[in-house]
Structure formats: structure tokens, C-alpha cells
A and B are shown apart, each in its own frame.
Chain A
Amino acid sequence: MKRSKNRPLIVSLLVGTLVVAGVGLALIQTSQGAAQSQGALVKYPDYPPTPTIGPNPTLPPQLAGASAILAQSDFADASALRNWEFVDQSFVIAGAEGQWAVKDGRLAQNYAGLTHDLSTQEVAAITGDPAWHDYTVQVSFYDEFNGTAGVMAHYTGSDPTTASYYRIRALTSTFSATPKLVLERVDQGVARALVEINGPGFTSRIWHTLGLTVHGGSLQATLDGQVVAEATDSAPLSAGRAGIYTRASGGILFDDFVVTTP
């Protein structure tokens, strides 16, 4: 009698459980085409997983002996951006300006405009004092797919399209364009190559350091601590700020920016 009293309850629980399970399964199985929570409607072919970004390189030895550090940034957080001026190096329409951000403790070029468009626009991040002179500027960079990295020294001018400065810029080895390394002087926005190197270009997805030393009219560019270009300028740019150069294509990280004097 006791069992027979509990039977309706057991049956009800069993029926309820089955109904709930059935409805739940039905909901999960239906509406595959519309629900955004479902898997992709278009599948990509298999690509190798994106490599994990490794640790930054250690500071090259020559900077260890520097007598003075004029500026330094490890981009620990977004507050680091306050010390930088971000410029587009040629005319852009409103809304297409290069974007920058701090991501995971690194300075990231973040495409162009608020919709983060891919752009070939040349952009730069400028910092420091216009009176700086005779210094070494160096930065570590990790290229994912941008393909263009550079540093600038003795940067003068308020309008980036007519500014003057020295620049070492490098291209990734996957680009077909040459030269891969150019040490150049830019006057009033017009670049003049001092040294061109048709080397293999840098390897993407590993960290590199790129440096430029200006001492009077002597220029020396380094890549990963190795001197890659040297030049003498008979009428040198006397002073100016330092900076980082790339394109508004996203896909590149900068870190450990440092400006030192000998």
C-alpha cells in the first residue's frame, strides 16, 4: 500500500523529467541556421594555429652601458599612451586616422579609423623633447602581418606631412618589395634614402629590436643588435623627438622603447 501511494509521484517525476529532457534536446537541435550562438555557417580551411607571442628580447648589450636614458616605455598600461603623439604621415580623411592601443603590455598599431579598417597609411608614434640630440632610439617589435617597422630620430615639425627626421625602416621577408631596409632622411615630408639594403627582410612572428643612433652627422642603424646600415650626413638634422614608424594595417606590436645617450 505504501508503494502504491508513492507510485503516482514517481510516475509524475519520471514523466516530467522525460518531457523536460525532450524539450531541451529539441531546443538544442533546432534553429541551426539562425541562432548566432551556433557554430560558423561558413567554415575556413585548416590553418596552422597562430603562434604564441613569445617574451620580449632582452635589452641589447650596447644599451646596457648607456650613460643616460632620455625616455623609456614598456607600455605596461594605457597610461603609457599619454606620453605619445600619434600621427598620420600623409593626408587622411576624417575617420581614417591610424589607431593605437596598449594590449597585453605592448603598444599595438590598431588599424585605421573607429571601424578598424586595414589601411596602407603610414603612421607614427612620436615622443620626447624637440631638444633631444645625439641619441640612440630603439624599440622591440613583433610583426604579425603588418610587415613594416621603423624608428625615427631627430623628428622636427608640427605637421607630420612636412616633418623632417631620420628613419630606419624595415620590411618583412614575405613582402616582395625591395629594398628591405632603408636608412633615410626625410626633409619636409620627402624621403631621401641614405642607405638601401636588399637583404632578406625581417622574419615575422618573432621579436626583433630595431635601433637608430644619431651622433652629429653619423647615423647607425641596428637590427637585433647588429649594425645593418651606416651613413654620414654632412648637414645633419640637429635635434628632435624620437618615434616609431609603421603602417595602419594593424598586426604589429612594439615594446621596450628606449632613448639613450652615450
Chain B
Amino acid sequence: MRRLPLILSMICVIVLSACVVPARAQTSTTPTLLAEIDVGDSQNDKYPNVTVSGQTVFIGGGVNNTDAYVWSFNEQATDIGPGSSIGKALSSVAKPDYSTVAVATAPDGTIYAVWSSFYDRTLSIRHRDSSGAWGARHLIGSASGVDFFFSKVAVNSLGQVFVIWGTDKNIPLSLVVSNDEGVSWSSKYTTSVGIYNQSTSIAAGPNGQIAIGFTTDSLAPAIAIWTGSGLTTELLGSAKSGAQPGVSIGPDGKIYAAWRGFLPDGTATGAFYAERQGANNWTTPDHLFDGDVKNTFNVVVDSTGSVHLGWNVVIDIPRFFYSLRQAGQPDFSKAIPANKGPIYNSHFALSSGGSLVHVALENFSGTLPFITYARFSGATASSPPPTAAPKIENDAQSIKTPTSVSVSFTDVTNSPTEIRWRWGSAPTDTEYDSVGTAGWQTFSPTTTLTVAVPSTVSSTTTCLPVRLYTQVRTATKVAGLVQFDDVILDSKVTAAVRITNPHLRQVNLSPGSGARDGNPTYTRDPLVYVEAYGVNECSGLKELTFASSTPITVSNNFYAGMIPFPGTFATGSNTVTVSLTDKVGNSENYTQTLIYDTTPPVLDVASPGTVSATANLSDTVLASLQFSNITVTDTGGYPGRGFWGVWLANSRTPVTNPTTDTSLVWTPVAAPGTDKSFTISNWSLATGIPTAQRTAGDYTIYARFLDGAGNPTSGVISTTLNLSTITEPKVNLPFVRR
């Protein structure tokens, strides 16, 4: 009995201890409403949808039963400009409810927009890249008599695009997947249960995860989870217990859901919240609050694990409220309302690590619903996502194709400690080019990385830029948005080069005397004509070097000019080399053999051969010149008959010394064939003859012979042709009937 006081004391301690339960820590994060802006041109919009890429907010919505619109603006915007139509969203029943627009952001920041057009029963998608350009519209589905209601889109960490929609009450929800940015689509996947056809939710997470919130046809809140090859459905409650769950996937892959509840008789029971612990294993739902909650509940878990809730509830009028459970804290904040209303539907997205909450509100004030944008302060950004903008080779536009590139970083924020990268696509946990677990390796803001260029990238032969995607994360595994830099890889000089006889007729710069034509591989002067221009040259031509002389700058990817041969240009055959260098340092040599020949050919005095002329019957001013047995010797080495062509001149009167007579105008004409006898057709007797002298009568044609370099014979042969009439060629234009 002496122990009785002790026993009683101990019992009292136990009882008192039971009474003293540790008070839950109160949250220190209090959200506030920062802005409310009516979207002016959002007339007649239902179910607005919002996403964020970096610091830019994108709202999608149908407008006036005609167009799918997207509005974009900065996360701190104080006003919102006009939206842009991205396609037709027509409603045959003049209701916007069934021609809605959904938006989502891919890991690389690309925005996807999906919209249905009730009138023509189509479901379409477009995506907007980082440059702001919207790509082509791709049709996801089109079928007469088949409807696409309440479509939603999400892009998982693998870059796969998921689009869902409802078709009718009691029919399963439909899902299709695209692995090529919406160009092509998988066959349709469906939920294992029918749905109650109303607005749904979809969320993407790490490791390719996708989760979908919907209401079953028995009025139970449910989550469908993508397995990689289909959907598995998990119920959050019993039949007739709730609807329209919002769903989100945390950075660790955990799935979160929140939904509105009701009793079997329809009496509203407020909202509930649960977290998935495993397959078909959810925490006991937390009853968030009572009240008449309406339409889809929103839940978003940010990269730090903070849980954001947004919902519509009737308190005096239908209002939107936002609440937050900061990561690491046990309680949700007090609900903060948007001021404007009544609000019928809402959807929100986060930016700046969850510190800003962007809400698209469906506002109704008597006639047509429109969008009001609301911005709340959200989670305390104790661990906002880091950034580090990559710059390949100091942000060069193009570089000589390397085996690796140096990558430095600008705009480094929020202390990233790890980095991963991938060429051509955003790095994911399963696909990356960096080294480390899931591609993550140590990162230092001041270090210049050396990133290997795989052969699949370096082998590109186009001048299109290749893209390196990088992603950094903090020591607490808070990953930033995928960022990228582009560079053009230039592996070689690609140019068209012409090294030729400077006296060719096509060369406008032909110097000196002698025939202005000849064989391209000869020259009678110690210089050459060089023409070079870049053809599919990625970086552009920079310099041209001729025979090791001083480099010549190439402007605008083109050069043309006469270049004296430096030093001694030996008579006879010479190999000429032109070296081209592009702007990234690639170089290429182009060679050509040129014969330097200054010795004129010699027309045999004894048997030079003959020339005769015959006028054309219809155009008498044109003559056919027949050369026979022309005998020429060329010590310069022109092969065969010893001459390349004929140097012709006309005269109305015979001249005494054709080789020195300055009244003659000599014109080079290539001699056809290789034979000593040949015919030159359509020689104009008017060539070199003043117009006033082009009359009937005698025309004397003188001929000298040219070697490949354009050196003429001193010997001349001639012939005279008498024309009784002069007729010139005419061009008959087609008669146009009036």
C-alpha cells in the first residue's frame, strides 16, 4: 500500500502526458493575391487552361465559337495583350463548352496547344518552340459523329505528348500518345471504366509518368495512371461520393489528388485530398473543408514538394480560392480568394519554383463567360529552380566541326550544382549524353565544360544548327527548366571554283589585246581568272590564296578576279592551286592545269586552205562559212589541227593589209570539231559593219586562226560574198487576239 501514491502519481503523469500533444507547427507561408486582370478579347470562353514556360504564362481558350486562342505574357505582367488564333474551334451549337483549348509545357519549354472543334469533329495540336513560332497544325483525330470533349494535353519527362478526351457519358476516357511532337499518334488507349463526361485533369512527372483525374460513370473520383503501354485506373472513393479530381505528380514521382465530395443524394461534402503510396494504395483522404465545391479541383505539386490547391466553391457566390502547403510544413495555409467572380471553372500553373501561381478563371457576369487572370504569391521560393544558360564556344554562330565543344554558362541563378545534357532533345532520366546517374554530373558556374560531340551530330552535312540541351539542378535536387544553345557545325569548305583562261569571252575583265576567247585551259598572259563562291558553305568563305601568294579576303561568300601568277610562270603546262578558307578555319585546295602560250600559230603560206561563204536563203545577212584544209602549225602546242578557232572580220571593201587595218573588227569563233575542214554557220555579215553600210553588195570576210591562248596567225585567208538583198532575221511574236 505504500506504493499507492507512487502508482497514482505515475498514472497522473501518463494522463497529463496524453493531454499534452505537441501542437502542429503553424505555416509561415501566407499566399496573397497579387493581380487580377480581365483578358479583354476572351469573349465566350469556357474551361480556360494555363501553363508556364520559364517566366512566360500561356493561357489557352476558345473564343466566340470560332477560334482557338493562346495568350502569352510575362509572369509579372500588369496587363495582357490580345491573344493569337492558332486555329479554328468552331461550335455548331453556338456554345463554347465543347470547343475548348488546353495547353501544356514540355521539359524543353516547348508549348503544346490542343483544341477541339465541335462543328467539324476534329481534335488538333500545334506546338510553339523557343523562338515563339507556332509549328504546323497536326490532326489528332477526326471522325464524323465522334466528339472530342474536354481535351487535355501533357508532355512527360521523356518528351512524349499525351492527349486525352471524353466522347460520351459512360464511355471510357480516350488517350493517344505521340513520340514525334504531335506529327503521328499511337492507337487509342482507354480507361478500364466509363467516365462521367466532364472536364478532366492530367499531370506529367519524372520518369515518363502521366496521371489523369476523372469521374467514373458511377460518380467516383478516379485516377488513371500511364503504365507505358496502357492505363490502369485507381478509385479514390466509392460510387456517388465525389467528382473531378485534380492530379499532380511530385518531383519524387509521388501522385497527389484532390477532389470535391458529395453524398449519394448530391449534398456537397466539401473537398478531399490524398497521396498515393503505391499501387492502389492511397492515404486515407483528408477532409480539407466543407462546402459546396464546384467543378474540377486543382492540385499542383511544385519542384520542391510544396502542394498548391485551387478550387471553386460557393461562398455567397461561386469563388476561386487558393491554398498552399509549403514543403516541409504540415499545414495548409488559409484559403485566399480571387476577388472577381462568379467563377465557374479554373485552372492554374506555377512559375519561379512555385512562388508565383497563375490562374485562369472562367468569369461569368450575366451574358458570355470570359477569362480573368489571377496571380497569387505561392510557395516561399527557398529552393527555386536554378538556371544556367549554355553558350557553345562563346556563343559562336558556327564552328568547325569538332569532336567536342566548350560550353560556358551565363545567367546562372539559384546555385546549381549538377548538370546534364543531351544533343538534339531535352535530357531525361533515361536519355542523356552526359555522364552520371540519370546523366547528372558536377557543375560549377565558372567552369567551362567540354562536351563531346557524338558522330551522329558531327556528321550532319546541312547548315542547320545542332542544339545542345542542358539542365541544371541544385544540391537539393531541384531541377531547372531545360535550356539550350544552337551552333552550326561546319566540317569543310564547300565551294564552286573556276580557274581559267583570263581571256574567255565570259570573263568581263579580259585584259590587253588579242582574241577575247580561247580554250579555258590556256592563257597567253601570266595571270589567271579565279571565280569562287560558297555553295552550301555553312560559315561562309573567308579567304582565297592563289599559288601561295598573300591571301585575298572573300566578301559575301563570293570572289571573282584576275590574279597575276606570282614569280615565274613557265611557258607550257602549269598546275595552278587556289586555296579557300572558310570562316571557321576549314580550308580546301582547288587545282587547275593551265598552259602558258605566248607563241602565235602559223598559217601555212603555201597551202593555207580556203574559205567560202554562202548566204542563208531567208536571212541573207547570215552566212555559212566553209573552211577547207586549213593548215596551221602551233609551236605552243595546241593539239591536233593546231588551232582552237577562227578570228573573223567583215569588210564592205577589200583591205590591203588585214592584220594591221584598224577598220576591221575581229571576232573570235570556236572552230567546231577537230578537223581541218569545218563549217561555221550563221556568221553575221553585219558584225563590225556600221548600220549605214549594211546594204546590198559585196561583203569580204577575213579569217585568221587562233590557238588555245587566243594568239592569232599573221596569215589571213578571205572570201567575198555578194548580196543582192539584205534580209535580217526576224522574231515572230504570237498574235494576241483582242
Asked whether any CB of chain B lies closer than 8 Å to the CB of A235, the reply is: no
**From A7, A36, A41, A172, residue with most partner B Cβ within 10 Å:** A41
Judge if B627 is at the interface, Cβ distance under 8 Å.
no
A121→B294 CA distance, assembly (Å):
15
B262 touches A115 (CB 8 A): yes
User: Secondary structure of the B side of the interface?
Assistant: mixed
B286 touching A249, Cβ below 8 Å: no
> Cα distance A38–B19 when bound, in Å?
17
Produce 1/0 per residue, A169-199, CB < 8 A to B.
Answer: 0011011111000000000000000000000
Which of A19-27, A63-71, A129-137, A217-225 lies at the interface?
A19-27
A1 → chain B, closest Cβ, in Å?
14
B294 touches A145 (CB 8 A): no
Q: With A29-B19, A36-B287 as given contacts, are A116 and B198 in contact (CB-CB < 8 Å)?
A: no
Q: Any chain B CB within 8 A of the CB of A119?
A: yes
B300-339 interface bits toward A, Cβ cutoff 8 Å, 1 = contact, 0 = none: 0000000001001011111001010000001111111100
Which of B97, B98, B272, B273 has the most chain A CB atoms closer than 10 A to its own CB? B97
Q: Is B405 an interface residue (CB 8 A)?
A: no
Which residues of A42-74 are within 8 A (CB) of B?
42-45, 47-48, 50
Interchain Cβ contacts within 8 Å, total number = 162
CB closest residue in chain B, given A122: B95
Q: Is A251's beta carbon under 8 Å from chain B?
A: yes
**Surface stretch bound by B, among A78-86, A92-100, A207-215, A236-244:** A92-100
Q: Is B284 an interface residue (CB 8 A)?
A: yes
The answer to whether A33 and B286 touch across the interface, beta carbons within 8 angstroms, is: yes
Contact for B312 among A23, A47, A118, CB less than 8 A: A118
Partner of B335, one of A43, A50, A178: A43
A26 to B21: give the CA distance in the assembly, Å.
Answer: 8
A109: interface (CB < 8 Å): no
Q: Which of B198, B285, B330, B369 contacts A113 (CB 8 A)?
A: B198
- Knowing A22-B18, A25-B18, A41-B287, the reply to whether A11 touches B196 (Cβ < 8 A) is no
With both chains docked as a complex, state the minimum distance between the C-beta of A202 and any C-beta of chain B, in angstroms. 12
**A36-B285 contact given A90-B94, A115-B198, CB 8 Å threshold:** yes
Is A38's CB under 8 angstroms from B337's CB? no
CB pair B318–A171 under 8 Å, yes or no, is no
The residues of B that contact A145 with a CB separation of less than 8 Å are 314, 316-318, 342
Query: A14-B8, A110-B266, A171-B366 known; A42 and B289 CB under 8 Å?
Result: yes
B14 interface residue, CB < 8 Å from A? Answer: yes
CA distance A36 to B290 in the complex (A): 10
Report how far A206 CA is from B341 CA in the complex, Å: 20
**Inter-chain contact B283/A34, CB cutoff 8 Å:** yes
A5 to chain B, nearest CB (A): 13
Select one of A22, A40, A174 contacting B288, CB under 8 A. A40
The verdict on B398 contacting chain A, using a C-beta distance below 8 Å, is: no
CB pair A114–B15 under 8 Å, yes or no, is: no
- Whether A90 lies near B321 (C-beta < 8 A) is no
Indicate if the CB atoms of B315 and A91 lie closer than 8 Å: no
Contacts of A50 in B (CB 8 A): 316
Whether A251 and B15, one on each chain, are in contact in the complex, defined by CB atoms closer than 8 angstroms, is no
The answer to whether residues A34 and B266 also contact, given A95-B169, A117-B294 and a CB cut-off of 8 A, is no
Chain B residues 245 to 288 lying within 8 A of chain A, measured CB to CB, are 262, 266, 268, 270-273, 283-288
Tell yes or no: A232 within 8 A of B by CB: no
Q: B365's contact among A15, A42, A44, A176, by CB below 8 Å, is which? A: A176
B344 and A7 within 8 A (CB): no
| Contact call A120/B369, Cβ cutoff below 8 A | yes
B12 at the interface (CB under 8 A from A): yes
Which residues on A sit within 8 Å (CB–CB) of B309? 42
Question: Cβ of A43 and Cβ of B318 under 8 Å apart?
Answer: no
Docked-complex contact B15 and A18, CB < 8 angstroms:
yes
Bound complex: CA A14 to CA B5 (Å):
12
Most buried by B among A26, A36, A42: A42
Known: A33-B286, A145-B314. A94 touches B262 (CB 8 A): no
| Cα(A30)–Cα(B22), bound, Å | 9
Q: Which residues of B contact A45 (CB under 8 A)?
A: 334-337
A115 vs B19: C-alpha distance when bound (angstroms):
42
In the assembled complex, the Cα of A33 lies from the Cα of B330 at a distance in Å of 8
Question: What residues of chain B lie closer than 8 Å to A92, measured between beta carbons?
Answer: 97
Taken together as a complex, chains A and B put the C-alpha atoms of A116 and B269 apart, in Å, by 12
A93–B149 CB distance below 8 A: yes
CB neighbours (8 Å) of A41 from chain B are: 273, 286-289, 331-332
B331–A114 touching, CB < 8 Å = no
Nearest CB of A to B148, in Å: 12
A94 vs B272: C-alpha distance when bound (angstroms) = 26
What is the bound-complex CA distance between A43 and B321, given in angstroms?
Answer: 11
CB atoms of A117 and B295 under 8 A apart: yes
Docked CA distance A121–B321 (Å):
23
Is A147 an interface position by the 8 A CB rule?
A: yes
- Given A93-B169, A118-B295, 18 more A-B residue pairs with CB atoms under 8 Å apart are A11-B7, A22-B14, A36-B272, A36-B287, A40-B289, A41-B289, A44-B334, A45-B337, A47-B316, A94-B169, A95-B169, A95-B197, A96-B97, A116-B262, A118-B312, A147-B366, A174-B317, A251-B317
Residues of B whose CB lies within 8 Å of any CB of A are 1, 4, 7-8, 11-12, 14-15, 18-19, 21, 24, 46, 93-95, 97-98, 147, 149, 168-169, 196-198, 215, 219, 243-244, 262, 266, 268, 270-273, 283-291, 294-295, 309, 312, 314-318, 321, 323, 330-337, 342, 344-345, 364-367, 369
